[in-house]
Structure 1
């Protein structure tokens, strides 16, 4: 079961055609994706490579990972990581290596909060977003990179402080097999538990009820890990990207 969940996580993270290679990131605005993505859980590991990795390198990488013990703790690198990076350098030297922690996000979480929450599955939430689109994006959203209503990736949940958007949870990755939340708390509103509140509310959205949910964070993002800890999210696995 855990290995099926690992495959579901990979399937929601990337668009992978029948050839089994990464075509691009599964985002509304697709990016090329990493050249190598290795993820693991207690049941085993999975590696996927981008479409432009050479066949000889791909075979060597797959053979190496096939003999790697299950890797699920992002606090330490998989034993074969150095060899993987060396193999990838046959084609192009690695420019970036990043590591992430993968948590399971249970459905229907609750978190006591007096903050007003709006959701994309309600008339109130949709009316609010339509009004926002008509009025124009507030400056603090523009500064954070949210350029329009289309950047509220459905399904979403926002936390309001008065009439000001303080935090939001949205579908950073969504496919029929799984979904992964993206969470952002705007500067000036951090440290108030708002990320916890929107994450819990997002997990209860009906649109997500029929697929496993994940919460993924870089090993360097300590504030995001504190959100996972406050919600008691079960650790699931780890991943590493080589670009």
Structure 2
């Protein structure tokens, strides 16, 4: 594995034309281009040569450096990794429905420390003690069925005070710009047209929502 500093130098040589053949180079000018000392630049060139990533030759007018096939392969590997990062496609889904009142169970469960700790760790926010209940429209019911289950996050069940609490699945989402998550208990059969959403704030208050208001839930994940 090529260390980052050597890879930086190899890339700089390639940008100067080193993949096309030997290029003239002095440690002083090369160091200046990388904002490092000539001594450090010389050590980096020696390190690249020892790894067979470049060749160096001395001519009457100075030092010539070229990237080897092995060096090109290393640069192509780096390029491929960056291409994977920046070419990832995003899947976006929107669920729409109307706000409804729940039974108050969400407030109880979101107040239990072990649940709260897991949500904070796995979702990045500590949930407000309560949930926003939404009744989905017919089209959104079908969209919900087709959501990629790989992106749901496991919330583990546990035992406390001689009582067993079941696990759940959570799907990160956003409502009105607020980070949220759809939560589905693993041991409870929930109506397919209703979802419960948790957030780090009281969504009804923050978004001025009342029963029967229309709301959209935005879901985005890597394809």
TM-score, normalized by length of structure 1?
0.28
Structure having the higher helix fraction is 2
Relative contact order (alpha carbons < 8 A, sep ≥ 6): 1 or 2 greater? Answer: 1
Normalising by structure 2, report the TM-score: 0.29
Q: Which has the larger radius of gyration?
A: 2
